A = this chain, B = another copy of it.
């Protein structure tokens, strides 16, 4: 290191002719979602989709992106602005954006070589990183059957509960049950109660509704790899490392969130839950904690009532988000786990990050650092762009809105409606990014590296 090392220059290598390259799977995912957004926008702009005047292009684009990215931020009130046809379109967009995308993501993840141990097993451990077409169909069918069963049970439970509500007709109760079961399971956060005359405070917050909706949100938020891993646990008696870590992290996040909200919101002077009995405080904080990371249903009526410590907690939970290949966004619980494990291992002086008797694969920490870095960058840039173009907006509200879009969460401090056209476009892009996830976008947009035939000498730099 003291000597001046000779510089090694890279040998330029003839690039492959781009015309002959197959479209990489990650790029297909990006293009596929973009095409769906265009299709959804066009459908929502049809006069038949609106109950009054047709949606403008930006309203339709915002709503379609929000539905397909299962975010739930909205510049319209769905139940009043959309006809029943429009509401069905919205429901389908949520289902496609949630379930369809999750299934495709699992299949494509496999193609990208990021191994899902469950999928491995389902596909008889294909070791070449390529799925047999038959296996794709088989996995997809299993996943869809699982999803339909869960949503069906949830919708039935909601219907049985809501059809007793005098404010809803039986048809309404049935459609609302279906819509909200899908919206909950897909963690979409869209609801049809806000704007319905009998429900001035949005979704029903009675205990049973919160329990059913919360369960659907929780299951959807676990992600397909974890759900299927759990479903076959009785046979295999073994959970993959991914499932174990996901369950630990999710439990930790839900409990932290619950405790945090509980401490902040039951304070007698300022808390939003100060007037509720203890059992309701517990249930609502649990629901809010489950819902906060991505679902976007509000457990308390007016989110602007939330105290500042809860706003900060919410932003943190949203930013961490859900497991990969789930309904949620954020940096993902996987990245969070890797960063924590890596930090712990570093502090203990371990040669590699380790957890539960396993070393993490080489490069995992580097990948997690990349995800965190680019995510911080995207959130900060989007927030700055909104702040510089909107007057009278506090940093709080803007950060909350952007992180909510980034995590495809959909909670808001009542700021979405104040966005100007430029702000709407920024939020649309962030939602789009949030649904795809940092890794997919990096891989899709990055120019494929040329094979490197030389290696550079190492040098240290200080990092403080």
Question: Per-residue CB proximity of A203-241 to B under 8 Å, as 1/0?
Answer: 000000000000000000000010000000000001011
Instruction: State which of B354, B368, B452 has its C-beta within 8 Å of the C-beta of A369.
Output: B368
Instruction: Chain B residues near A9: list those with CB within 8 A.
Output: 357
Instruction: Chain B residues near A121: list those with CB within 8 A.
Output: 2
Q: Report the bound CA distance from A155 to B265 in whole Å.
A: 53
Q: Which of A1-56 contact B (CB under 8 A)?
A: 1-2, 4, 7-9
Is A362 part of the binding interface, using a Cβ–Cβ cutoff of 8 Å? yes
Of A7, A120, A352, which is in contact with the most chain B CB atoms at under 10 Å from its CB? A352
Instruction: State which of B346, B371, B449, B459 has its C-beta within 8 Å of the C-beta of A350.
Output: B449
Evaluate contact between B449 and A349: CB separation under 8 angstroms: yes
Given A120-B2, A461-B241: A347 in contact with B446 (beta carbons within 8 A) = yes
Q: Report the bound CA distance from A313 to B464 in whole Å.
A: 22
Is A303 part of the binding interface, using a Cβ–Cβ cutoff of 8 Å? no
Instruction: Chain B residues near A437: list those with CB within 8 A.
Output: 464
Instruction: Chain B residues near A263: list those with CB within 8 A.
Output: 388
Evaluate contact between A361 and B463: CB separation under 8 angstroms: no
Size category of the A interface is 35 or more
Instruction: State which of B115, B270, B349 has its C-beta within 8 Å of the C-beta of A1.
Output: B115
Instruction: State which of B245, B331, B366 has its C-beta within 8 Å of the C-beta of A464.
Output: B331
Q: Report the bound CA distance from A50 to B383 in whole Å.
A: 45
Is A260 part of the binding interface, using a Cβ–Cβ cutoff of 8 Å? yes
Is A70 part of the binding interface, using a Cβ–Cβ cutoff of 8 Å? no
Of A309, A380, A398, which is in contact with the most chain B CB atoms at under 10 Å from its CB? A309
**Nearest CB on B from A382, distance (A):** 11
Of A125, A350, A387, which is in contact with the most chain B CB atoms at under 10 Å from its CB? A387
Instruction: Chain B residues near A439: list those with CB within 8 A.
Output: 463-464
Q: Which of A280-315 contact B (CB under 8 A)?
A: 307-309, 311-313
Between-chain CB contacts (< 8 Å), 6 pairs: A114-B462, A312-B387, A324-B462, A351-B452, A358-B459, A369-B372
Footprint of B on A, CB under 8 Å? 1-2, 4, 7-9, 109, 114-117, 120-121, 125, 225, 238, 240-242, 245, 260, 263-264, 269-270, 307-309, 311-313, 316, 323-325, 331-332, 334-335, 337-340, 342-343, 346-354, 357-362, 364-374, 380, 383-384, 387-388, 391, 393-396, 398-399, 437-439, 442-443, 445-449, 452, 455-464
